[in-house]
Amino acid sequence: MPKTSLVTRPPGRARLKQRRIVVVVVPPVEELDLVGPIQVFSAANRLAGRTVYEVEIVTNRGDLRVEGEGGLLSFAAQGRFEDVGGKFDSMLLVCGLATRTARDPALFAWMRKIAPVVRRMGSVCVGSFLLAEAGLLDGKRATTHWKFGREMASRYPRVKVEFNPIWVKDGNIYTSAGISAGIDLALGWVEEDCGGKISHEIAREFVLFLRRPGGQTQLSASLSAQASEMKAIRELQVWIAENLPNNLSVHRLAERTAMSVRNFERVFTRELGKTPSHYVLQMRAEAARRQLEETDQGLKQIAAACGFRSTDSMRRAFLRSVGTTPYKYRRRAER
């Protein structure tokens, strides 16, 4: 692990409250769903210079061995959920694709019992199915992996399933999308508890391309840039990323690919599921977000560097893509 660049402690760091997190696993689990969030909490402890998070892994099985769905890794739980004693701050639920349909009345009753008193309850990926089965998501907004969103909506019509967000908070219950989104959710918890500086430092250490807030869509423009099977479109997307401040009109892009405007718009939309104009706006908003995180430049300079005509046009695109304004995003990142 690289050395931290967080040398000094900003005011209030020493006053960080110690928090106990109980991670409930229903095996077999997707390995990264479990390991990812735990690594985030471990990194937060190291960067804070003290134990902020005390993480306890428990299972609903009699056998404390937790198998991974990949079959190559297994983990040892520290006990069963029924044996958890004392107060704890947060509960995070992790299961696997096969166990999203598990029926465990004792576990569900336990979760319903702690829901009113625990500060946060969360799930990673399809763990939201178990929260829904327990009745904890009735009338609430929730998300899950995009491949299983329609299944969840069909199974649990009382849940307000949102198909796009990385993670969703409704009351004290958090649900997250697939696999790497569990890392995003854990970073969100760290930001709530420790501030933006530590969460951003963890994201940098994890070499995350973007640290995504809950409102970020699951399939970002950066990911969709790898989705096209056409070489001409893939090469154009790389060129767009390298030329965001320049003229990226539909006519210019069509000319770049040696297509007519009409044919280019049809092909691009077919390949990526969004229009060229929408794609360019998303890429510019993501670039602006990185600038807000990594530089001290003013909003006017960032807007110009990312190809926006004005700070107002950047604000509108940023709000649609990230779910907040550039000003509020920077304020949060600086905490």
Of all residues in the chain, the percent with pLDDT exceeding 70 is: 88
Render pLDDT for 76-109 as a digit per residue (tens, 0 to 9).
Answer: 999 999 999 999 999 999 999 999 999 999 999 9
Which amino acid, 238? V
Q: Among candidates 41, 55, 51, 43, which has minimal Cα distance to 14?
A: 51
Give the pLDDT score at 207. Answer: 66
List 173's β-bridge partners, or say none: 121, 170
What single-letter DSSP state applies at residue 147? G
Render pLDDT for 12-57 as a digit per residue (tens, 0 to 9).
Answer: 444 789 999 999 999 999 999 999 999 999 999 999 999 999 999 9
Q: Among candidates 143, 154, 148, 151, which has minimal Cα distance to 185?
A: 143
What single-letter DSSP state applies at residue 217? B
Q: Among candidates 221, 263, 217, which has minimal Cα distance to 241?
A: 221
Render pLDDT for 281-303 as a digit per residue (tens, 0 to 9).
Answer: 989 998 898 888 778 899 999 99
Q: Are 153 and 123 in contact (CB under 8 A)?
A: no
What single-letter DSSP state applies at residue 68? B
- Interatomic CA distance for residues 44 and 194, integer angstroms: 8
Q: How many CB atoms lie within 10 A of CB 142?
A: 28
Say which CATH superfamily domain 221-333 falls into: Homeodomain-like (1.10.10.60)
- Domain borders along the chain are 15-205, 221-333
Global pTM value: 0.67
Element (H, E) at 230: none
Q: Looking at domain 15-205, which of 3.40.50.880, 1.10.3720.10, 3.10.450.50, 3.40.50.720 is its CATH number?
A: 3.40.50.880
Encoded tokens for 287: 């670039």
> What is the distance of C-alpha 263 from the center of its chain?
35
